[in-house]
Chains A and B, each alone.
Chain A
């Protein structure tokens, strides 16, 4: 069955610390991968997406993610987090040219000032 796993449920960091959130997917064939962020009280916003090409994808607000096909992973990274990065982060995957998008359980990031 198609699924997306996020292993970190809650991550707490201090400002300026580096961030890496894990995401693994279970899909057959070509897959599109996404990271969304949901700030408190706000709706989902797309951080970045991978469809093809360079496996290192750069998104908004200094975030990046690396697609490693052999590991079925699409981890999100940021070199130096800020207090304003406190939010819920969702990894999602969908088969190529297919609308069947599945979300991971989400990772709550708390950044302490």
Chain B
């Protein structure tokens, strides 16, 4: 069965600190897709990144970086030099290629609080 685990319920850091949000997934599919979404205090869900299982290159986008490791079934998200605007709930999600619904399986989310 597919599952996404975000063990960190809440993280609090001081501005300019680096922070890593963990995501561990379970799937029996050999081809799958991993996602991160951001939910700021305003409530909307913002798509951040998609990673395909056959592409293990890590990705960097500005202060954001993602570390995909198939060997440990992890897709961790790092924010470098955090800012107050990064305060949000972050969700990791999984979609399996064998699932014709294209549905996303979400983790329970990690609430990040960045203090000034």
Binding partners A and B: no
Residues on B lying within 8 angstroms of A by beta carbon are none
